[in-house]
Amino acid sequence: MGHLDDKVAIVTGAGRGIGREVALLMASEGAKVLVNDLGGEASGEGKDIKVADQVVADIQEAGGEAVANYDSVAEFENGQKMVQQAIDAFGSIDIVVNNAGILRDRMIFNMTEEEWDTVIGVHLKGTFNMTRAAAPHFKAQKSGRFINFSSTSGLIGNIGQANYGAAKLGIAGITKVTALDMARYNVTANTIAPFAWSRLIGTIPTENEEQEQRVGKLKEMTPAHIAPIVSYLGSDDAADVTGQIFGVRGKEIMLFSQPRPIRSAYSSEGWSVEDIGNTVKEAFKNDFTSLDVSSDVFPYNPLV
């Protein structure tokens, strides 16, 4: 018996990388899977439908059930079409894994509107499109699972990724509100920030031995490490886990904190500009969050 027997799952961006491993594991756990991937490059350009077909073939060869879908998640109507395709093929929809993504890295002073819009469209609007399409079905059946992918590029920060970081922090936001909106219907929504070697981070420069060693360690963080927690969050046992942000880094699973006030200052007279500089800044500055990038917060080698 699998942990996802009789469940129907949609996995976006499932042709390669993390999405592929999630689709394969979910199928091996008994889920029927709609494998969505338009087969684009890391930048989102191009189209190769064979990548989705291959994952479907691999699932079927292992005795599972799957169908392919080649639509872009960035178009609102495609979310509706995917959910309907899953229902037509398998009779229901139980799990949506929003994994599809692209990269268009550029420093903020050089980023084009198109680079911004495209990344926001696939990651953030794509997550909304799929969520909006599935939510009425989940509400009616009083069950369902949303599993969305964020990134430390948004949760912590990375240089040159304003579009990607904004989208990924936005995904943490939509996931929390989805969890709140759907809680009364026994529907959960959780976020995962994955660390894994994929095409999307395969462009990291290796100009010296230190960088080569770092990339070597990153390559050991295979996408297969991410799939078990995604499958778990889709299972019945995770019915009481919602609104959380998890990280997976090699064989390490972590739970992220979420923003809450850590210091406050009160003045019965209200605050003048000068008083803020003299009092509030002085009171707060030892607790300011440092201007870190993801690798500052995770400087240690992954446990693989």
- Cα distance between the two ends of the chain: 28
Cβ contact 23:32 at 8 Å: no
Q: Enumerate helices (H) and strands (E) in the chain, giving the number of each.
A: 12, 8
CB atoms closer than 10 angstroms to residue 50: 14
**Tokens (6 digits) for 107:** 């420093």
Rounded to 5 degrees, what are φ and ψ at 105?
Answer: -70, 135
DSSP state letter for 250: B
The answer to whether 164 is a known catalytic residue is yes
Q: Cα–Cα distance between 69 and 192 in angstroms, integer? A: 23
Q: Is the dihedral of CA 219, 173, 13, 120 positive or negative?
A: negative
Cβ contact 40:28 at 8 Å: no
Write down the catalytic residue from 164, 232, 266, 300.
164
Please count the residues of the chain: 304
* Residues annotated catalytic, as ranges: 164
